[in-house]
Each structure stands twice: as C-alpha cells, then as structure tokens.
Amino acid sequence: MAPKGPCISVVIMAYNEANSLAGVVHEIHSSLEEMGRTYEIIILDDGSTDSTAAIADQLAAEYTHLHAVHHAVNLGLGGVYRHGFSEAQGEYLTFFPADGQFPADILKLFFPLTAQADLVLGYLHRQDSSLVARFLSFSEKLLYYLLFGPLPPFKGIMLFRRSILEEIELKSQGRGWGVVMELIIRASRNKFRIISIPTEIRPRLSGQSKVRNPTTILANLKQVIALRFYL
C-alpha cells in the first residue's frame, strides 16, 4: 500500500519575486504549523530571471516539508497551475502567489469549511484598485456570465479536494488562468459542493503586478473563448 500523502499541499507561485518569497514562505509555514495538519509546501519557480530560483533552493534546504520546482522558461499562470495540479500530493490543494498579497491566515479560514465543501473559493469583498482595474474586473466577470452563466464568486485563493482533478477532465491550455476557471465551471456543473467566502488582499510586498498587463489580459481572453468550445 502506497504511503498516504500530506493533508494539505500549498503551491507558492513565484516569478521574479526574490524580494518577497522568503517572507511569504515563512508566513505560510507558520500558519500550517499552527493548524497542526500534515502538509507540504511547493515553490514553483516559473522561469524567474532574478535570484528567485536560488532563494527557493535555499528555503527548500531550510524547511523540512518544502521543495522547489523550476521551469526553464516562463510558462505563465496556466503552466504553473497545471504543473501544481500534478506535483501536489496532499488531500487538499491550494495556490498562493509569492507577492504576499494574500494573508496566510486564509488557510485557517478555509480549511474548516472543507467539512462541508469540496471547493472553497475566496473573493474580494473590498477592492481599492484603480478605476481601470475595476473596469477590467467587471468586464471579465460579465464576459464569463454571458458565456457560461452564473458562477460562484471567485477572485484570489481557492482550496479544494485534490481528488476532484481525478473526477473531471481539464482541457484548457495556454498561459492564462483559463484552466482555473474551467475547474470551477466543471466542478459547479458536476454538483461538487462549493462555498465562496470573502477574503482580504494586501499591497504587494515589492514589485508590480504581473496580471493586469496587456499580454496577460489577451492570453486570458483567448482562453475564455477557447473554453467556451470545451464546455
């Protein structure tokens, strides 16, 4: 009989986050220790060109339940999520960006809800972003509604039973977060139990957002259109 994996897998998504990665790892590690569950932390370095890779390897040597995985080139959010899906061994799986915007205490908020949900989704109930960012967010939500109908609120962190990935087939490819939306849509249509709850967001610890830029927006738009033909 194969050994049982950890209870929780946390994938930290890192691309050129040398200034914030160590602090994020320490915060997530502390929260997991307080929870008292078995866990693993996976740093997924997406082809960083700064010292992120070296810092990830240093952290892997420092923390017992942490290992680092490196992409030779940048594959984008889609590549990171798909790799994280296959790399993680925990009963429950979540992803955190390495920019420090989402408090690690979200783990302690989400995990108790797995007693009544297969998929726990966070959404931002308060956003202090610019008018342009709010417009882009609204437009994105409207597009998903028009293409796929009502969906559970989501923006940020999710925690889900990893076995969902064995029960539904994900077809999305590409760099954007289409694979994440496909997971949510298919889980919703397959009657998995889903809970959405509000979460907080903080300013980045350093650097600038890699999400709200023309390249990422275009990649996500292409995936949304492709996703409509999958479902």
As a whole number, mean pLDDT of residues 211-225 equals 66
The predicted pLDDT at position 2 comes to 46
Lowest mean pLDDT among 22-36, 54-68, 137-151, 205-219: 205-219
SS3 state at 159: strand
List CB contacts of 196: < 8 A, sequence separation 6 or more: 120, 121, 122, 123, 152, 153, 154
Residue 173 has a pLDDT of 86
Task: Express as a percent the part of the chain with pLDDT over 70.
Answer: 85
pLDDT at 80 over 80: yes
Domain limits, the chain: 8-230
DSSP state of 42: E
Choose between 45 and 222: higher pLDDT: 45
Whether the full predicted model's pTM is greater than 0.85, yes or no, is: yes
Instruction: Check residues 140 and 113 and name the one with the higher pLDDT.
Output: 113
Mean pLDDT for 108-133 is: 85
Least confident of 52-61, 106-115, 188-197, 208-217: 208-217
Specify the CATH class of 8-230 in words. alpha beta
* pLDDT value of residue 110: 98
Nearest partner of 111 among 183, 200, 31, judged by Cα:
31
Q: Work out the number of other CB atoms within 10 angstroms of the CB of residue 203.
A: 9
